[in-house]
Chain A
Amino acid sequence: MTATCTLTDCGAAPDVEYSMDDYAGPVARWCPGCGDHSVLSAAQRLLATHQMAPEKTVFVSGIGCSSRFPHYLRTYGFHGIHGRALPISTGVKLARPDLDVFAVMGDGDCCSIGAAHWIHAVRYNVNMVALLLDNNIYGLTKKQTSPTTPQGFPSNTQPRGSILPPMNPLSVTLGVTNASFVAQTADWAPQHLYATLDAAYRHRGFAFVRILQRCPIWTASLFRDAVQDPAKVEVLVHEKGIHDATTEAIHTNHLDHDPSDLNAARALAEEGGMRLGLFFHDPTNACYDETRRVPGYTPEDRIAILKRELDRHAV
């Protein structure tokens, strides 16, 4: 949008309408075929759908390929510290509850160096969206094992194959008291990805979305089967869940799951497998940004508080 200011007209249309282009930043410099491109498109569509004002929207990231995200959007951005996207986002949201806050993290970022923050961010349940772009590897630093690397998959730091069984980010999140929204989607299912971001954005509380993300450079083989064979993917369906007709038509393996059932969600997450959908949703949990909000005092209130305080010291 361009606004031309004249003496009689400030130029701004009364009903501002943002298009996808209004959110597009410089050309994204991820590798061709990188799943991050698809997440970026879904985010732009989400911004346009909800007509989020760019100046009222902040994308916070850590460090990694995926963390370049804020540079490629025309919203406000915060390219933070490796592992610290969540505490930075918490700070942003507590300081400015009126802003829409999105955190973008890689699997090394969130599940390794930032793991302690991740657990506490789930507890705080600050009203924001957290996106884990999980390519099962350290991309930016060139192929080192991450906590989500499948066991046996070789890397430059574990050349004989990843030693440990991979961490399950869904189980971890669901295991933390106060979890309120946990979903999984994939970069190669763009409709489902969009529907998931939309549901996450509408959720009041900390919405955790794990996005299975292809990295054709370091982990090309990992998601190949799932991408080529829709039957390898199972879609969670429920009236309270995330619904996308296209995805459900492509992936005919459906599993009925009520996302208000925490125990069922935990059991399902623990089973693993390529499952896309809403695992858990509880919109009633208290949000830290609301419970910790300081009331807006009027000057009269302030004088009354001051008087009360001074009275305590009267001699």
Chain B
Amino acid sequence: MSKVLMKGNEALGEAAVRAGCVHFFGYPITPQTEVPEYLVKRLREVGGTFVQAESEVASINMVMGAAGMGVRCMTSSSSPGISLMAEGMSYIAACELPCVVINMMRAGPGLGGILPAQSDYFQATRGHGHGDYQVIVLAPSSVQEAVDLTTLAFELSEKYRNPAMVCADGMIGQMMEPVEFPEEGAATPMPENDWSLGARDGRERRIVNSLYLSPEDLHRHNLKLKAKYDEIAANETRQEIYGTDDGYDVLVVAFGTMARICKTAIDEVRAEGLRVALFRPITLNPYPFGALRDAMDAIEGDGPVLDIEMSMGQMLYDVKLAAEGSRRIEFYGTAGGVVPSPDEVAEKIRGLMQGVQ
């Protein structure tokens, strides 16, 4: 298929349809409203359903119901709406059901504003509801990657029977870029399985459940989940490393929109002869700790790591975990929907390099 020019939110919707998603449940919220507004027309064409629920609490529970039937389904929202889904996400993870959740992050806390931010990193990567569970979190930095990661989110959520989240922001949702999609109809239907409900002749009775009154049983259930999360961590981390060709003295770490801006800034400072590389986690959970540590260890001399986020420092904790005290970590962050320009980032890097050379 040739490339088409599409707005991020709509491309994401199209990617979901191509991945075989047939049910969407959601509640309007800026800046992701084009996802449902695109799907309302598109799902009809593929025989799927679109439902505007009465709230995000209802959306995620409708998703839970549909997921329990063994069909591909999703919801999409932005930060305040995702907060309301916390309870549902915990139950869906506990019941080991697959679903995809999109978060077009906006600036918080509270109602905050509708401009891009990355301040839901903790919420996404620490399992924002109660209990010992995790969500697979993918962070695109272009419209094409939003498409690819939405496809991957459906794959991983089904492979591991766990919610998978695509965590982007209003910038990616609103911008238009050329994109390429997987062939329509190429997605295989969800295979016959041993966990979903639905009356079928001769099938043993099944119950979707997250209640374990016996501590031993609940302990075992948590161990099983943990083993699954360990497997995900071992197999599914993804990252991009940029600007490492001729060695580097400083390593910038950034994800999503911020990483994209950092790339431009790095091109700028490299042209001036400064040796700077970028590490961009694509999976925020599982976090690519090992790859990041390797990239840190490859910094020449004792140059620092510069973590840049559109938040007050959330991924920073994971960067520090990766470093385990082995290296100086600097942080630069903006909030409230303030998106730093490549020039501002370049200036930060130059300032940092003065101490290095």
A positions within 8 Å CB-CB of B: 63, 79, 81-83, 112-113, 115, 138, 141-142, 144-145, 147, 156-159
Contact = CB atoms under 8 A, between A and B. Distances in A.
Contacts of A142: 33
B286 to A, nearest CB: 33
A52 B332 CA distance: 49
Interface string B41-64: 100000000101011100000000
Contact of A159 (B27, B30, B40, B80): B40
B54 A141 contact: no
A157 B52 contact: yes
A96 B139 CA distance: 46
B152 interface: no
A227 B33 CA distance: 32
Contacts of B30: 141
B54 A81 contact: no
B129 interface: no
Contacts of A113: 27, 54-56
B28 A81 contact: no
Contact of A147 (B28, B54, B56): B54
Nearest to B27: A113
B241 interface: no
Q: Dominant SS at the A interface?
A: loop
B111 A81 contact: yes
A159 B111 CA distance: 28
Contacts of B27: 112-113
Given A82-B80, A158-B40, A141 B33 contact: yes
A160 to B, nearest CB: 9
Given A113-B27, A157-B28, 4 more contacts: A115-B54, A138-B28, A141-B30, A141-B33
A113 B352 CA distance: 48
Contacts of A158: 40, 52
B41 A159 contact: yes
Contact of B55 (A83, A138, A141): A83
B302 to A, nearest CB: 48
Interface residues of B, number: 16
Interface in B244-259: none
B37 A157 contact: yes
Contacts of B40: 156-159
Interface of B: 27-30, 33, 36-37, 40-41, 50, 52, 54-56, 80, 111
Contact of B33 (A81, A112, A115, A144): A144
B258 to A, nearest CB: 26
Q: Which 6 A-B pairs have the closest CB atoms?
A: A113-B55, A144-B28, A141-B28, A157-B52, A112-B54, A156-B37
A141 B111 CA distance: 14
The interface centre, meaning the residue of B50, B52, B55 with most chain A CB atoms within 10 A of its CB, is B52
Contacts of A63: 111
A34 to B, nearest CB: 19
A248 to B, nearest CB: 38
B24 to A, nearest CB: 11
A145 B40 CA distance: 12
Nearest to B52: A157
Nearest to A162: B52
A158 B80 CA distance: 23
Contacts of B55: 83, 112-113
Contacts of B28: 138, 141, 144, 157
Contacts of B80: 81-82
Contacts of B111: 63, 79, 81-82
Contacts of A82: 80, 111
A157 B55 CA distance: 14
A145 B29 CA distance: 13
Given A138-B28, A158-B40, A144 B52 contact: yes
Contacts of A141: 28-30, 33
A81 B110 CA distance: 8
Nearest to B50: A157
A145 B54 contact: no
Contacts of A144: 28, 33, 52
B50 to A, nearest CB: 8
A82 B37 CA distance: 20
A129 B75 CA distance: 35
24 contacts: A63-B111, A81-B80, A82-B111, A112-B27, A112-B54, A112-B55, A113-B56, A115-B54, A141-B29, A141-B33, A142-B33, A144-B28, A144-B33, A145-B52, A147-B54, A156-B33, A156-B37, A156-B40, A157-B28, A157-B37, A157-B40, A157-B52, A158-B52, A159-B41
The interface centre, meaning the residue of A141, A142, A157, A158 with most chain B CB atoms within 10 A of its CB, is A157
B40 to A, nearest CB: 6
A224 to B, nearest CB: 25
The interface centre, meaning the residue of B28, B54, B56, B80 with most chain A CB atoms within 10 A of its CB, is B28
B303 to A, nearest CB: 45
